[in-house]
Amino acid sequence: MIASHAIEVDDVTVRYGRILALDHATVRVPTGRICALVGMNGSGKSTLFKTIVGTVSPTTGSVSLAGRSPAAARKAGLVGYVPQSEDIDWSFPMSVREVVMTGRYGRLGFTRRPKKADHAAVDEALARVELTEYADRQIGQLSGGQRKRAFVARGIAQEASILLLDEPFAGVDKRTEATITTLLRGLADSGVTILISTHDLAVLPELADEAILLMRRVVAQGDPTEVITTENLVRAFGLDPLEASRERREEASS
Ligand SMILES: Nc1ncnc2c1ncn2[C@@H]1O[C@H](COP(=O)(O)OP(=O)(O)OP(=O)(O)O)[C@@H](O)[C@H]1O
């Protein structure tokens, strides 16, 4: 049976020593939907991802992915994770093709030797993100937007049924943003469940079926137009959003 919610996060609290990063957060993402996770710096977005992937253990609550624990889901290759760019060592001597092939590792078996089907899956994933001509470049020799697309290709090659993307639009231009959005919509339409963290409220109407506002706890979750209200933004960001963007402009120009 297919679970109606591919991602179920129940009452999860995470502490790093004395820092409370997530406070009794409950999140549900329906199968085949795109859900945007919105929150200010330090609101717990990456921590939520790490808890879902299973690299951070909650002090309260639990996570279920298509009915499995994070460890079991990871072992079964159900979850693809596109981390923040800062979390990746771009000087690592790996080509784009090799990075995308790491998405197949869970399927390669004992010998770790890719078969014809694995090469075909990697070629197809590279084509879908329009990186075929960059396949043999070292990953550090890509632009910011191409780097994001390389990791999205890894998730596609993995044939993950749950895809987590941490800030995929940070530092990318409008064209790449549109390419990634179209690609994600196609994946969701084929049944992949997608959770994306973003600061960019402007992408939400095009991108997301659902939105979650996070401020250590879940301030609101649901239809983006109902979640992204001035009242909720003030609760999540602590400032009137117009005021916040004015402050950011002033900071940038000073
Ligand atoms: N390994 C860690 N050790 C201690 N504190 C941490 C650790 N990782 C995160 N934190 C703290 O936990 C809180 C939540 O951090 P997290 O990275 O989840 O936020 P975020 O919403 O992803 O932020 P950003 O938008 O800046 O990436 C912050 O106060 C952060 O300083």
What are the pLDDT digits (tens) for 29-57?
A: 999 999 999 988 889 999 999 999 999 99
Contact in structure between 65 and 79 (CB atoms under 8 Å): yes
Which of 232 and 197 is assigned the larger pLDDT?
A: 197
Residues 6+ apart with CB under 8 A from 231: none
Report the nearest-CA residue for atom 6 of ligand 1. 16
Encoded amino acid at 38, one letter: V
pLDDT category of residue 137 using cuts at 50, 70 and 90: very high
DSSP 53-115: HTSS--SEEEEEETTB-HHHHHHTT-EEEE--GGGS-TTSS-BHHHHHHHTTHHHH-TT----
**The ligand 1 atom nearest the CA atom of 44:** 18
Give the mean pLDDT of 196-219.
89
- Is residue 20 classed as helix, strand or coil in its secondary structure? strand
Give the pLDDT score at 191: 93
**Is residue 252's pLDDT more than 60?**
no
Report the nearest-CA residue for atom 25 of ligand 1. 41
| β-sheet bridge partners, residue 11 | none
How many angstroms is it from 214 CA to the middle of ligand 1?
13
Report the nearest-CA residue for atom 5 of ligand 1. 16
pLDDT category of residue 179 using cuts at 50, 70 and 90: confident
Residues 6+ apart with CB under 8 A from 186: none
How many angstroms is it from 117 CA to the middle of ligand 1?
39
- Which domains, ranges and CATH numbers included, belong to the chain? 1-7+29-56+64-78+161-175+193-254 (3.40.50.300), 85-159 (no CATH)
